[in-house]
Copies of this chain bind each other. A is one copy, B any other.
C-alpha cells in the first residue's frame, strides 16, 4: 500500500472518529468531510481537497461508503459538480472559491447553466443577453434556453454580452448569477417526449454584483470554453459491456424471440459490436488520461455515443413493432418535470425519442465533427464572416 493511501485511510478514520455517520446530521457530516479535504482529494487543501491525483478519490469514497457515511447526491447537482466547480476553481478569486465550492459540493446550493439562447445554440458566442455595468453591479437582460434544473437551482453560471462593439468572442463576460433574484423567470420547456426536462429562463433587470463576475471582463468566451470542455469529457462513459442503450435492446431481443428477424439480427449484432468497440475506445481513453495523456477521442466518442443510442433505440421500435407504439408507461404524454435525465428508461418509444437529443445537447454532432476535423486533424476552419467585426453589426 502506498504512503498516500495509508495517509488517506488515516484521514478517513479521523473524520469518522469525530463524526460518527450514524449519529451526525447529514449536512454536518458532509461539511466536515469537505473541511477534512476528503470531498474531492484532487482539489487544493482548504477547498475540499488535498492536492492529490484524482484517482485516489476512489479509495476515500469506498472507505466512507463502507462506513455508512452519507453521500452528496451528485446526480442532483451535475452542472454544479461537473461544470461550475472546475471553472470556479480555475478562474475564481480566492474569495469566490471559498464562498461557492463548499455549499456546491455538499449540495446545499444546486447550480444550473445559463449559456444557450434561441439565437446562440451551436454558435454560442453569439449570446445576446446583455449585462450593463451600473456601479458595483451588472444589470442583466435577455433570454436563455435549454436550462436543465433551473427550477431547483440556487445559482447559475451565466454568459452575457458586456461589450457589443467588440467582435463577438471578445465582448462576453462570465458571471455567477443568483437564481432567486426577482428578475429571473423560469418557464418549463416541453420537449418531444412530452416531458419538460429543460427550461427557458427570462432575465429582466437581474442585478449581479461585480463580485460575482468570474474571470475578467471580456474573458467570458475563454471561461465558458473551459466549462464546456468539462461537459464533453464527462459524457459518454461506458465501462461495462452491454451498458447503455445496447444493453436495453439486447435484453428486449432476448425476451422477445417471437419478434426476431434476420435483418434485425444483423443490425443488432453490428450495433453490439459498435457498442463494444465504443466501450474499448473509452477504456483506452481513460487509461491515457490516467497516464496524463489527454487523447483526442473525447469529441469523437460523443459522436459515437449518440449514433449508437439512436440506431439501437430505432431498431428496438422495429423489433417490437406495434408494442413499441404504446406510449403508456408512467405519465404517457402528460407534461412532467423529471428529477433527472434518463436516456434508457421508460419504454421503447420514449427511448427512441429521447435519444434524438443525444446528438444535439452538449454540442451537436455537427459541431463535434468540426471540432474533430479542425482541432484533431488540423483541417482549416470554416470561413467566418463575423469573426473580426463588431458583434452588433453581425448579430441577427
Query: Contact size class for A?
Result: under 10
Main SS at interface, chain A:
helix
Which residues of chain A from 15 to 49 have a CB within 8 Å of any chain B CB? none
Nearest-CB residue, chain B, relative to A270: B263
Stoichiometry, as copies per complex, reads 2
Contact partners of A383 in chain B: CB under 8 A:
383
The distance in angstroms between the C-alpha atoms of A383 and B386, with both chains bound, is 14
Contact partners of A265 in chain B: CB under 8 A:
262
A123 at interface, CB cutoff 8 A: no
The distance in angstroms between the C-alpha atoms of A278 and B266, with both chains bound, is 25
Nearest-CB residue, chain B, relative to A263: B266
Which residues of chain A from 240 to 284 have a CB within 8 Å of any chain B CB? 262-263, 265-266
Nearest-CB residue, chain B, relative to A384: B383
The distance in angstroms between the C-alpha atoms of A263 and B262, with both chains bound, is 7
The distance in angstroms between the C-alpha atoms of A266 and B263, with both chains bound, is 6
Contact partners of A266 in chain B: CB under 8 A:
262-263, 266
Shortest Cβ distance from residue A283 to the other chain B in the assembled complex, whole angstroms: 27
Q: Can you report 7 A-B residue pairs in the complex whose CB atoms are below 8 A from each other?
A: A262-B262, A262-B263, A262-B265, A262-B266, A263-B266, A266-B266, A383-B383
The distance in angstroms between the C-alpha atoms of A323 and B266, with both chains bound, is 24
Shortest Cβ distance from residue A215 to the other chain B in the assembled complex, whole angstroms: 33
The distance in angstroms between the C-alpha atoms of A113 and B337, with both chains bound, is 66
Contact partners of A262 in chain B: CB under 8 A:
262-263, 265-266
Nearest-CB residue, chain B, relative to A383: B383
Which residues of chain A from 55 to 110 have a CB within 8 Å of any chain B CB? none
Contact partners of A263 in chain B: CB under 8 A:
262, 266
The distance in angstroms between the C-alpha atoms of A183 and B360, with both chains bound, is 59
The distance in angstroms between the C-alpha atoms of A262 and B269, with both chains bound, is 12
Nearest-CB residue, chain B, relative to A385: B383
Nearest-CB residue, chain B, relative to A267: B266
